[in-house]
Amino acid sequence: MTRKYFGTDGIRGRVGEHPITADFVMKLGWAAGRVFSDRAGNDRKMILIGKDTRISGYMFESALQAGLIAAGVDVGLLGPMPTPAIAYLTRTFNAQAGIVISASHNAFHDNGIKFFCGQGRKLPDDVEMEIEAALDKTMVTADSAILGKAHRIADAAGRYIEFCKGTFSRYHNLKGLKIVVDCSHGATYNIAPNVFRELGATVEEMGVKPDGFNINYDCGSTHPEALQHVVVNVEADIGIAFDGDGDRVVFVDHNGELVDGDELLYVIARERHARGKLDGVVGTLMSNYGFEKALDDLQIPFCRAKVGDRYVIESMEDNSWQLGGESSGHIICSDLTTTGDGIVSALQVLRAVVTTGKPLADLKKEMSKYPQIMINVKASTDKLAGNERIAAAVAETEKTLGKRGRVLLRPSGTEPVVRVMVEGEEEALIQPLVKQLAEIVKEELS
Classify residue 437 as exposed, middle or buried by CB count within 10 Å of its CB (0-12, 13-18, 19+): buried
- Predicted local distance difference test score (pLDDT) of residue 209: 98
What is the per-residue DSSP string for 327-357?
Answer: TTS-EEETTT-SS--HHHHHHHHHHHHHHH-
Mean per-residue pLDDT, 152-170: 96
Asked whether 326 and 284 are in contact (CB, 8 A), the reply is: yes
Distance of CA 71 to the CA centre of its chain: 30
Per-residue pLDDT tens over the stretch 99-149: 999 999 999 999 999 999 999 999 999 999 999 999 999 999 999 999 999
- The overall longest dimension of the chain from CA atoms, in Å, is 72
Q: Is a pLDDT exceeding 60 seen at residue 427?
A: yes
Backbone angles phi, psi at 354, to 5 degrees: -70, -45
CATH 3.30.310.50 in the chain, residue ranges: 372-445
Asked whether 256 and 232 are in contact (CB, 8 A), the reply is: yes
Candidates 184, 171, 351; CA nearest to 271 is 351
Q: Is a pLDDT exceeding 70 seen at residue 414?
A: no
d(CA 97, CA 119): 8
Mean per-residue pLDDT, 151-155: 95
Total-model pTM: 0.93
Per-residue pLDDT tens over the stretch 377-402: 998 888 898 899 999 999 999 999 99
- Predicted local distance difference test score (pLDDT) of residue 196: 98
d(CA 138, CA 155): 37
- Going across the sheet that includes 417-424, the strands are 372-378, 417-424, 405-411
- Predicted local distance difference test score (pLDDT) of residue 77: 98
The CA-to-CA distance between both ends of the chain, in Å, stands at 28
Model confidence at 345, pLDDT cuts 50, 70, 90, reads very high
Helix H or strand E segment including 411: strand 405-411
Q: Is a pLDDT exceeding 60 seen at residue 1?
A: no
CATH 3.40.120.10 in the chain, residue ranges: 11-154, 160-365
Per-residue pLDDT tens over the stretch 263-297: 999 999 999 999 999 999 999 999 999 999 999 99
- Predicted local distance difference test score (pLDDT) of residue 113: 98
- Predicted local distance difference test score (pLDDT) of residue 432: 95
Taking the CB of residue 138, how many other CB atoms lie within 10 A of it?
Answer: 5
Asked whether 152 and 79 are in contact (CB, 8 A), the reply is: yes
Q: Is a pLDDT exceeding 70 seen at residue 183?
A: yes
d(CA 419, CA 413): 11
User: Would you call 87 helix, strand, or coil by DSSP?
Assistant: helix
CATH architecture of 11-154: 3-Layer(aba) Sandwich (3.40)
Asked whether 388 and 283 are in contact (CB, 8 A), the reply is: no
Q: Is a pLDDT exceeding 60 seen at residue 225?
A: yes
Superfamily, domain 372-445: Alpha-D-phosphohexomutase, C-terminal domain (3.30.310.50)
Per-residue pLDDT tens over the stretch 54-103: 999 999 999 999 999 999 999 999 999 999 999 999 999 999 999 999 99
CATH number given to 160-365: 3.40.120.10
Q: Which residue type, as a one-letter code, is found at position 100?
A: V
Mean per-residue pLDDT, 334-354: 97
Catalytic residues: 104
Candidates 413, 411, 396; CA nearest to 445 is 411
Q: Is a pLDDT exceeding 90 seen at residue 2?
A: no
